Copies of this chain bind each other. A is one copy, B any other.
């Protein structure tokens, strides 16, 4: 971060102007606890990569959710310049920046396809246009593997079982379930466990098994459902105030772009093999792993398409992103089919 007035309020508490007096250390405010498994590890890896490449001249000072800025107010503070940078789920800003909903698309791009669309399919340029009016530069440095379909206290045998279901869920997935009579809504991470334990909700989804574990849902829910139709792949972003970004040298900007790809590649490479040992540990403790019946997924898909098409009509930029992403995924579909080896 450039030593500008933008962050005067936080200078005292930051290492940026302490031990490493000449370093361009960027204050990065996260929407999650800064020690959260996997979701925060990519930001730490990007910090480490920047420091190693620059000899300590570039890097992050990470702040967890609420440490200095509430998780829900990161966007407006980066936009105004009150803080220089944030790190969050892209889809979190769908209310203020509709194109951000592309951060996770039910029945949409999986993790590799989402990363590819963003970086070689023109996706990031489209999404950036939604953040330009806010004076925010975005970088897509983290893509999460499909999240499980959720923790449930009852079996889901047909879409009728969603009727009356109280579930913690956000975004388009929540709107889809509500079309089937559910009452799905967002709850922050810290409130989910108690709500599920007290019976105020019947089900919840949160993140990958290795992350859900930290929140203890296996202690209070019996069924762990798959696949994660609502979030086959989801992108997190680094948001940098555009004046701060423009104040960086070209070499520093290039290091940011490269360090971002290092983190992205790690998130894609690390996640798949890390989940099954955790799922097996849940199972050993009594969790029952289930998959939604195909008919249920087929009906969810139909309603999802309708909801997404309505969103696409409401906001032209989101519509452009949605169509571009769908076309990109389709373009590799036949390739994947041709190259699939029969099971052993």
Contacts and interface: CB of A to CB of B under 8 A. Distances in A.
Given A107-B341, A258-B258, A334 B276 contact: yes
Given A261-B261, A264-B265, A340 B49 contact: no
A229 B265 CA distance: 25
Contacts of A232: 339, 341
A38 to B, nearest CB: 12
B297 A53 contact: no
B272 A116 contact: yes
B335 A121 contact: no
A172 B150 CA distance: 43
Interface stretch (A69-77, A163-171, A215-223, A249-257): A249-257
A277 B327 CA distance: 13
B341 A276 contact: no
Interface string A49-64: 1001111000000000
Contacts of A121: 273
Contact of A265 (B265, B276, B328, B344): B265
A120 interface: yes
Contacts of A335: 145, 272-273, 275-276, 279
A147 to B, nearest CB: 9
Nearest to A113: B272
B251 A55 contact: yes
Nearest to A119: B269
A251 B52 contact: yes
Contacts of A188: none
A222 to B, nearest CB: 17
Interface in A226-268: 226-229, 232, 250-251, 254-255, 257-259, 261-262, 264-266, 268
- Copy number of this protein in the oligomer? 2
A298 interface: yes
A269 B338 contact: no
Contacts of A289: 338
A320 interface: no
A338 B269 CA distance: 18
Contact of A112 (B49, B54, B259, B268): B268
Contacts of A226: 338-339
A252 to B, nearest CB: 9
A279 to B, nearest CB: 8
A144 to B, nearest CB: 12
A269 B331 CA distance: 12
A342 interface: yes
Contacts of A229: 341
The 5 closest A-B pairs by CB, nearest first: A272-B332, A52-B254, A116-B269, A273-B331, A226-B338
Interface of A: 49, 52-55, 107, 112-113, 115-116, 119-121, 145-146, 148, 226-229, 232, 250-251, 254-255, 257-259, 261-262, 264-266, 268-270, 272-273, 275-277, 279, 289, 291, 294, 297-298, 301, 328, 331-332, 334-336, 338-342, 344
Given A227-B338, A261-B262, 10 more contacts: A52-B254, A53-B258, A116-B272, A227-B340, A255-B255, A258-B262, A272-B331, A276-B334, A279-B338, A291-B338
